[in-house]
Amino acid sequence: MSETLLLLFLALLLDRLVGDPDRLWRRVPHPVVLFGRAIGLMDKLFNGKRLSADTKRFNGAAGIAVLLAASVFLGFFVHRLLAPLGIVGALVEIVIVAIFLAQKSLYDHVRAVSSGLKRGGLAGGRQAVSMIVGRDPATLDEPAICRAGIESLAENFSDGVVAPALWYALFGLPGLFAYKMLNTADSMIGHKNAKYLDFGRASARLDDLANWPAARLSILFLAAGAWAVKGRAAARHAIGTALRDAGLHRSPNSGWPEAAMAGALGIGLAGPRIYGGTRVDEPMMNASGRTVATVADIDLSLRIFSAACAALAAAVLLAALLAALL
């Protein structure tokens, strides 16, 4: 256990410093892309338009079960392959784990929204935010762009950083690979539309379950980040807002980190949004906060995010040291 936690700590450091080098992934496919191809093939073969709802639900559940089993097997195989290689194998595993974390890439994408607004105005902000959110960018004014960037940062801190770290800490590479397969499946086929409502139901439900602990843990790290950046009152408000308002979000998990970030910044997040031309009416989390988000709020959220990532790494290192002593 202590070795796994130490490898995770080093992977967190590597991901924070290096992230996903674009030059590499332009030459070879990212592992998540390969996961996506497997999910796409499953979709193509077993989600026919003429199938009944019951058949689609069965096919979707059986398909994701097979893919999860395959990803667990792959994780065991890779770990067994690397274990006899000593420090070289450990270094390779650190790189593999870092590939599945999203600290630097997430930071860079949200920082691009801030930079886009500063340099290119509304058009620049819309272009940058369209890379990370599904809502219609043409409907967003500057405060809405800022909210969208901050919400994406908070939500993806949970399922792009805390959750993969947690599943690796608990179950090693098999847990990490299975989580990323499931999370990728949810993003591809977990939508509540005519095509995927039945076929993607199992993937969406399992993804909710897999993200349940990380979403709640994430508010503690965000509160720690808020304390480091803004002080104890901001940390207290982050936790209080999450406990009070997380349930206002349509997702059973996304509301926790988003509400915590809203409380830390003192602004309202979520609320009505437009996805694919459809308006989603949702209450505002931290409705008593400021109603107009600014570029300065994005920059502050990035500082809180960075401090939260540092708190996560520190917690992992502490756990590794305690596990080594016990």
> In one letter, which amino acid is 137?
P
Query: Using CA atoms, how far apart are residues 266 and 85, in angstroms rounded to an integer?
Result: 50
Closest-CA residue to 225 (of 180, 280, 162) = 162
Query: Using CA atoms, how far apart are residues 262 and 146, in angstroms rounded to an integer?
Result: 12
pLDDT at residue 134 in the model: 75
Contacts with 60 (C-beta within 8 Å, 6 or more apart), sequence order: 46, 47, 189, 198, 199, 200, 201, 202, 203
> In one letter, which amino acid is 155?
E
Position of tokens 């509540």?
A: 192
**In the predicted structure, residue 22 carries a pLDDT above the cut 70:** yes
> In one letter, which amino acid is 300?
L
Closest-CA residue to 292 (of 271, 276, 268, 314) = 268
What are φ and ψ of residue 232, in 5° steps?
A: -65, -35
**In the predicted structure, residue 185 carries a pLDDT above the cut 80:** yes
- What does DSSP assign to residue 289? S
Q: Quick count: other Cβ atoms within 10 Å of Cβ 104?
A: 19
**In the predicted structure, residue 214 carries a pLDDT above the cut 70:** yes
How do residues 71-91 score in pLDDT, each as one tens digit? Answer: 999 999 999 999 999 999 999
pLDDT band at 278 (very low <50, low <70, confident <90, very high): low
Using CA atoms, how far residue 68 sits from 61, 64, 92, 130, 239, in Å, is: 11, 6, 23, 30, 34
Query: Using CA atoms, how far apart are residues 69 and 30, in angstroms rounded to an integer?
Result: 20
**In the predicted structure, residue 281 carries a pLDDT above the cut 80:** no
pLDDT at residue 72 in the model: 98
Residues 264 and 234 sit within 8 Å (Cβ to Cβ): yes
Contacts with 36 (C-beta within 8 Å, 6 or more apart), sequence order: 184, 188
What are φ and ψ of residue 295, in 5° steps?
A: -60, -35
pTM for the full predicted model: 0.94
Domain ranges of the chain: 1-325
- What does DSSP assign to residue 161? I
Using CA atoms, how far residue 123 sits from 106, 116, 138, 253, in Å, is: 21, 8, 9, 31
> In one letter, which amino acid is 220?
L
